[in-house]
């Protein structure tokens, strides 16, 4: 569903998401890193 844009900058950084190292484009948001890691949700708590 979510893919990096083909014209995205080539520079990447490594971040750890849920115990795994993921390479993401430099300047990507934390939410983008989670999506690129393949996780579908950002929280486990119930919404009231």
Query: Is the Cβ–Cβ distance between 21 and 15 less than 8 Å?
Result: yes
Bridge partners (DSSP) listed for residue 19? none
pLDDT category at 8 given cuts 50, 70, 90 is low
- The predicted model scores a pTM of 0.60
Residues 14-41: what's their mean pLDDT?
A: 87
Share above pLDDT 70 across residues of the chain, in percent, rounded to a whole number? 90
Share above pLDDT 90 across residues of the chain, in percent, rounded to a whole number? 12
Residue 28: DSSP 8-state? -
* Residue 14: per-residue pLDDT: 95
Query: Is the Cβ–Cβ distance between 27 and 13 less than 8 Å?
Result: no
Which uninterrupted H or E stretch holds 33? helix 30-36
Domain boundaries, the chain: 1-41
Average per-residue pLDDT for the chain: 83
């Amino acid at each position: 569903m979510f893919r990096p844009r083909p014209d995205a900058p080539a520079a990447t950084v490594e971040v750890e998401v849920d115990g795994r190292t993921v390479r993401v484009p430099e300047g990507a948001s934390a939410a983008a890193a989670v999506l690129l890691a393949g996780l579908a949700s950002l929280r486990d708590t119930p919404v009231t």
